[in-house]
Chains A and B, each alone.
Chain A
Amino acid sequence: MNTKRASAVALALTLSFFAAGCRKKVGVPPPPAAPVAVAPVVKAPVKKPMVTFFTVEPSTIERGQAAVLKWEVTGAQSVSINQGLGTVTAAGNRSVFPSSSTSYTLTATNEGGTSTESVTVNVTAPAVVAPTVTPTPSDDFGSMVSKLIQDIYFDYDKSDVREDSRATLTKNADALKAIFSKFPNNTLTIEGHCDERGSAEYNLGLGDRRSTATKEFLAQLGVSADRLRTISYGKERPSCTESSEGCWSKNRRSHFVAQ
């Protein structure tokens, strides 16, 4: 390597010497040495990954309902799904909540190439139309968020968005879209909270899941994800301090705070 590099540098210097000589100019510093060529490494061809299956069920949903993507891929180094789902494991499933008909493309890659597979979820109009938001000119961002955006609640040690929370989040999404278009520079923080029973350390992770699941759900409904920030407070900031299920259920929440 050293001798190769030295000879390449010598060659470059020699060339630059001749080049300078031709132009009859003195005092110009030599150009940088030519890059050292690296012989390409020849590897045995790798078969590109195989998508065993990539399905969605049901393929038609009402707005706000969930559809489940399922997939299995063999021989891939990386597997990803577009529409914000990002990198995923080689086999798995994921609930999605698209707000309008959406195609999902799974991309599996290895050194041998790329395989893709797509499915489409058809979204029909919701049975009940969410109330439209007509912000009055006097409202500021903070007061509109606190007036129109409702907390959602979770089951113990769970971070899945509950059936009743989906309706709330669908309303929140509509309101947020209206609020964000009125206030294009503001962002919203989604706080994840837990009740007092799990350990403080574990609850920090659980609160993070709750805020992230909430953000993902809103993003699926078309709320701009880059205006949603998440933070977990675990069980450090309870809204209610009694040791009873009535209180615990209020503390297991995603809370929305205007920035």
Chain B
Amino acid sequence: MKKITLPLLVALASSAGFGQQGADIVGRIVGGQKAAIAIPDFRGAGKAANFVATFNQTLFRDIEDAGVFKMTPKSMYPLNIPQRPEDFRKPLQFDPTNRTRAPWLQDWSDPPVSSDYLAFGYTAEQDNQMVLFGWLFNVKQPEVSSAQVIGKIYQGSLDDAGARKVAHEFATDILKQFGVESLAGSKIYFVSNRSGSKEIWVMDYDGSNQKQFTFYKNLITMPNVSPDGTRLAFTSFAGGGPAIVIHSLETGRKIPFYNQRASMNATASFTPNGKQIIYSSTASGWAQLYMANADGSNLQRLTNTRSIEVEPKINPKTGNEILFVSGRGGAQQVYKMNIDGADVTRLTTGEGEASNPSWNPQGSHMAFAWTRGYSPGNWNLFIMDVATRDYVQLTQGAGRNENPSWAPDGRHIVISSNRGGSTQIWSMLADGTQLKQLTSAGVNEKPVWTK
């Protein structure tokens, strides 16, 4: 097995999952050749002015966080900022030093801004609603008539929430033009002890809006979300020993699940169609893997060893291959098998200890934690091409880095890391860059990124 360099990995990722346009974008991220975008602050008319700061912040962050654009520095922007396409007037002779003339495309495409794209528009109050008029222009075009990429009206409530909503929708439309699924609106479920015991919490993808989701006043951990985002499964000690509990994310209520008689039922995850659940149970003695219907019925045993086997994860694309963690060969390693339990292969080399396998949405790569090259307990994050077993290391000994979970866009991951002292949730681009801390209160771990 050989180590691979990141551009190769990304090339693999793109050939497996992204369309041609998407592949270009992933290539650009890593190669540093991102398209440049300018997003000057929008202005708000009437009462909309009270919430335009929230709007500007949200739009800028959504676009920046996507990681597909080079954000041009605001300090370089021209003084005369367009609010509508009509504001552009082609000068007879373009003179960048002329401050009195109307805005023009070259103000944005020429140095010092040197942008490829410009997002502009304004917010206004209309019938006590927030209205956003948003445009995206390709400023490299010679004429306004050919520059427009997006021109659209968005509506929301006349408050900060409405401002965030229209900003998210506009950002989503912009990113869609570049084949990128926006993360706006995606959520991260995680475990936090800040209420006094470990419970499941939820936040927006950027760390805002953190809320407690379970209230068992007990040890609640190891969450997983169904692929359609409607159900949450976790491991609960509320009834005594570790057992699987499922909640609806739509109603918040508990959904019946039959736990087989065992001292431990834990680490549940869903099949792609959400109809079945795979988990680890000590029903037969050692922790082994089982599959059941979503209500716990129709049990099938998948593995039969005298070793500890946990964390089964089914390929979200094919619904066939299961990644799991097993001690069958000694120290814990990541293995792969078919859904019927056949064709067991060890994926990690046997060095160190490996855990937390997580499929990317394309079902081609897994992110996981590994102590390879370090002493036990010093986890680093890796990504492996499951077919070739080529891997790349994302973190290098900066604290313990565990629990990776892919974003719906297949380009970001969320992890837990104690690099700052305490264990917190961080997000990053799947090449290890753009690291952002999302939590700070208490101990926070085991994030799951969902639609």
Contact = CB atoms under 8 A, between A and B. Distances in A.
A199 B332 contact: yes
A220 interface: no
B285 interface: yes
A205 interface: yes
A236 B198 contact: yes
Contacts of B309: 205
Interface string B305-341: 0101111000000000000010100011000000000
A196 interface: yes
A197 B287 CA distance: 19
B235 interface: yes
Nearest to A92: B306
Contact of A199 (B221, B263, B402): B402
Nearest to A216: B285
A211 B287 CA distance: 13
Nearest to B379: A199
A236 B219 contact: yes
B308 A202 contact: yes
B355 A199 contact: yes
Nearest to A207: B264
Contacts of A89: 306
A212 B285 contact: yes
Contacts of B355: 198-199, 201-202
A204 B242 contact: yes
Nearest to B330: A157
B332 A202 contact: yes
A229 B443 CA distance: 30
Nearest to B198: A236
Contacts of B369: 199
A257 interface: no
Interface in A97-121: none
A201 B285 contact: no
B219 A230 contact: no
Given A204-B235, A204-B267, A208-B264, A236 B332 contact: no
The range of chain B's interface size is 35 or more
A157 B327 contact: yes
Contacts of B332: 157, 198-199, 202
A157 to B, nearest CB: 7
A230 B287 CA distance: 14
A51 interface: no
B222 A201 contact: yes
Interface of A is mostly: mixed
A205 B241 contact: no
A9 interface: no
B196 interface: no
Contacts of B327: 157, 202, 205
A7 B309 CA distance: 54
B119 to A, nearest CB: 43
A208 B287 contact: yes
A205 B308 contact: yes
A200 B242 CA distance: 13
A204 B219 CA distance: 13
A197 to B, nearest CB: 3
Contacts of B256: none
Interface in A204-218: 204-206, 208-209, 211-212
B213 interface: no
B263 A205 contact: no
B263 A236 contact: no
A172 interface: no
Contacts of B421: none
B112 interface: no
Contact of B263 (A156, A195, A198, A212): A212
B230 interface: no
A198 B222 CA distance: 15
B280 interface: yes
B237 to A, nearest CB: 8
Given A201-B267, A208-B264, A231-B242, 16 more contacts: A157-B332, A195-B377, A197-B376, A198-B332, A199-B311, A199-B379, A201-B266, A202-B308, A204-B267, A205-B264, A205-B286, A205-B287, A205-B309, A206-B308, A208-B287, A231-B240
Interface of A: 89, 156-157, 195-202, 204-206, 208-209, 211-212, 230-233, 236, 243
6 closest cross-chain pairs (CB), A and B = A197-B377, A205-B287, A199-B355, A205-B308, A197-B376, A201-B310
Interface of B: 198, 219, 221-222, 235, 237, 240-242, 263-264, 266-267, 280, 282, 285-287, 306, 308-311, 325, 327, 331-332, 353, 355-356, 369, 376-377, 379, 402, 445-446
18 contacts: A157-B332, A197-B353, A197-B376, A198-B355, A199-B325, A199-B355, A201-B267, A201-B311, A202-B325, A204-B264, A204-B280, A205-B287, A209-B286, A231-B240, A232-B263, A232-B264, A236-B219, A236-B221
